[in-house]
Amino acid sequence: MIAAAGYNHGMTLGEIAAALGCTVHGASGVTITGVAPIDTAGPADLTFLANPKYASRTRHCRAAAILVTAPLDGTPMISVVSAHPYLDFARALAMFYRAPRPAPSIHALASIDPTATVGPEASIGPFAVVGPRVTIGARAVLHPHVVIYEGVTIGDDFTAHAHASVREFCRLGHRVTLQNGAVLGGDGFGFAKRPDGSHEKIVQSGVTVIEDDVEIQALSSVDRATMGETRVKRGAKVDSLVQVGHASVVGEDNIICAQAGLAGSSLLGRNVLLAGQVGVSGHLTIHDNTVVYAQSGVVGDVAAGSVIAGTPAFDAKTWLRTVTALPKLAEMQRELRALKATVAELEARAQDASAKR
């Protein structure tokens, strides 16, 4: 590992396994200095194998040890047996690197309204702005140029990276993280057409509510509601460049991947996964445990436990069969035309034969 602040420069494999609750099959005293994927791991690294289809890659892996569900044969790597190798790899990564955390302090160039309340052990960077009647809990970190508008309420252990913004009267729970440029509570996209064709802006009088343990990544937007609230529920993770429209609900433990867009009043149940560039047309419900493949367009309600793909989205297995057939359509069309011509010729011959009798 590169020597830098925030890095741990070595632990024994036994120490790592004990912290993870795993079992070492081999020398537990080996020193591990980092974690890395199979293809790039070096002789002092810990790697992982979560999907058996990548097992062939382990033959050429140079890692000292590997997190696996069962001991590996035919490799010099030490097996660290885990029920959840990918999860434990993520936990191991956190042992070796933690992002720098500013010391508790309020920079002289920060602007905090005298009516705002900021909890203990806060770190507020230069040019951050905390507006009137804001309440922020303990151990908040506001990096430079973060802006918190009037009347916002935020729980403990809030982290906002540079240029994140939280608009007026929004409510955030505990352990919320906003990556760079995230915007919470911006105006929903609402306009009423006048008789002359111009547009009257509809006042967006609602708020955005973010529950505990939510992370919103860079340059994503969760709009405020026209009336009522837009809500992102506990544990949801929203990737970069995502648009959550007004009055939508992102359910508990949802994963919303990059460039997805939810039109207004989209309701997502628990444990929904939207892959990259999914579009949701709004005023519909995607029920619990649904998976939507990348670049799909959802135009109606989706039953719980569905796996869907395509535009308009439908059952993913059927969609895969359909797209497999697409390149053959031109050939199938030619064959169909030839068959129709053959049938027409046979029918004509049959009619001639019948007429001659």
186-230 confidence digits (pLDDT tens): 999 999 999 999 999 999 999 999 999 999 999 999 999 999 999
Tell me the pLDDT of the chain averaged across its residues: 94
CATH superfamily of 105-318: Hexapeptide repeat proteins (2.160.10.10)
Question: So what's the pLDDT on residue 4?
Answer: 39
User: Quick one: tokens of 341?
Assistant: 């011509």
Which of 220, 221, 215 has its CA nearest to residue 236?
215
Q: Are 134 and 152 in contact (CB under 8 A)?
A: yes
User: Rounded mean pLDDT of 58-78?
Assistant: 92
199 is catalytic: no
Question: So what's the pLDDT on residue 357?
Answer: 72
d(Cα 356, Cα 168) in Å, to the nearest integer?
A: 90
Question: So what's the pLDDT on residue 1?
Answer: 28
d(Cα 44, Cα 8) in Å, to the nearest integer?
A: 13
Dmax of the chain from CA atoms?
A: 108
The answer to whether residue 352 scores a pLDDT higher than 90 is no
**Beta carbons within 10 angstroms of residue 238's beta carbon:** 29
Show the DSSP H helices in the chain as ranges: 13-20, 85-96, 316-325, 329-356
Question: So what's the pLDDT on residue 353?
Answer: 82
Q: Which residue has the higher pLDDT, 185 or 99?
A: 185
Q: Are 11 and 31 in contact (CB under 8 A)?
A: yes
Helix (H, G, I), strand (E, B) or coil at 303: coil
Specify the fold of 11-96.
Answer: 3.40.1390
Q: Is 221 exposed, middle or buried (0-12, 13-18, 19+ CB in 10 A)?
A: buried
d(Cα 42, Cα 30) in Å, to the nearest integer?
A: 14
The answer to whether residue 330 scores a pLDDT higher than 80 is yes
Please, which residues have CB within 8 angstroms of residue 173's CB and are 6 or more apart in sequence? 155, 210, 211, 212, 213, 214, 234
Residues β-bridged to residue 244: 222, 262
Helix (H, G, I), strand (E, B) or coil at 285: strand
Q: Are 87 and 69 in contact (CB under 8 A)?
A: no
- Considering the candidates 174, 246, 283, 287, report the single residue annotated as catalytic: 246
Residues β-bridged to residue 159: 141, 177
Q: Give the model confidence (pLDDT) of 283-321 as tens digits.
A: 999 999 999 999 999 999 999 999 999 999 999 999 999
**Beta carbons within 10 angstroms of residue 341's beta carbon:** 10
Question: So what's the pLDDT on residue 5?
Answer: 45
The answer to whether residue 52 scores a pLDDT higher than 90 is no
Q: Give the model confidence (pLDDT) of 170-191 as tens digits.
A: 999 999 999 999 999 999 999 9
